[in-house]
Structure formats: structure tokens, C-alpha cells
Amino acid sequence: MSLESLIQTLGLPGLTLGAALEGEAVAFLGGVLAHKKVYSFEAAALAISLGAAFVDNAIFLIGRRAKENAFVQRNLGRETAQRFYRLLDRNMTFAVVGFRFLYGLKTVGALTMGTTGIRWARFAALDLVGVLIWAHLVVGLGYAAGSAVTAMFGHLRLHWHLLACFGIFLGVAAVFWWMRKRRTRSV
């Protein structure tokens, strides 16, 4: 089965499932596919949003229902969770909308919020706002990478185009990782 037929077989539900399993890479891929006109930009962003929101809400509800579980307690004992509790105390709305943008908080953030007194309906509504912003930004980055690859190399077959964009994704991720590592070393 070719890559093109696999993508068309999986379609937008494949992006939704992919976003539920691995967010950024699949959202970026959705943007590249939107650039290649496989899907519209908005359809890709909404499919990604649906998968991300589903996972956030599922993890929130795990935190709500299983806060005494050893796995949950182990995650809540991490320094990241403790810092996130402090952020929640200062500004709950910002924390719920923005936790997806803070490195290392996607799972721990939703889990932590599930153990607090925030109502699930409020969490779901604020999370949806954050997920929509996040999905549009990351899909937009994928779209921009697709445009850059086309500008540099012209029109490529889909698999070469995706490979070149994946290289850009890895390069940008490596730069962010290096900057974060350098910043934590200097602190």
C-alpha cells in the first residue's frame, strides 16, 4: 500500500487518532498534508483538536476518579506537578488554557487538574479553547514547513515532501531541546 493510499484510507479520523496518541508530530503532519491539499487546513486543525481534547479530558477524568491510585500519586509527586499546582492557584483559567503549551505538562497537567476542585465542564470548555489554539498553531507550522520545502525544492512526490518536512520538524525540535537543556544547565 502506498503512502498516498494509506493517508486517504485513514483520512481525518487517522489524524484524530494520531493526535490522541502523539500530538505535535501528527499536528505538524496535518499541516503538511493541508499544504499538499490532501485536507483543508481547517479540517486538519479540527481533527487534531478533537483527538487532543479527547485525551486531555480522559486524563482529567482519570485524575478525578483515581487520585488515590499509585500511578496517579507518583505523577502528582513529581516536581512538575507541584509547580503546576502553584500555577493553578495563581491563575486557573490561564493554567487550563495554556498547560498544553508548557513542555512536560500535557499529561501531568490534565491529571493534576483532575485532582482539584475544578468542575469538569469548566475544564472541558477551557481546554477546548487551548486545544483549538494549539492545533491551529502547530498545523500552521506544518503548513509553513510544507511551503518552505516547496519553495526550496519545488513540487516533490508526497513521501519526499513529508520526509523533508519531517527533517525540518526534527531540526526545530532539536534546537528547542538544546535551548532548554542550555537554560536548565545555566540555572
Q: Enter the pTM of the model.
A: 0.80
User: Domains in the chain: how many in total?
Assistant: 1
In whole angstroms, give the CA distance from residue 29 to residue 183: 29
Q: What is the pLDDT of residue 134?
A: 95
Instruction: State pLDDT tens for residues 47-73.
Output: 999 999 999 999 999 988 887 888 778
For 66, counting Cβ atoms within 10 Å of its Cβ (0-12 exposed, 13-18 middle, 19+ buried), the class is middle
pLDDT, one tens digit per residue, over 68-102 is 888 778 877 777 778 888 888 888 888 889 888 87
**Percent of the chain clearing pLDDT 90 (strictly above):** 27
- Per-residue pLDDT reduced to its tens digit, 3-61: 456 566 778 888 888 888 887 888 888 898 898 888 899 999 999 999 999 999 999 99
- Which of 48, 29, 46 shows the shortest CA–CA distance to 38? 29
Note down the domain range covering 94. Answer: 3-186
pLDDT score recorded for residue 187: 54
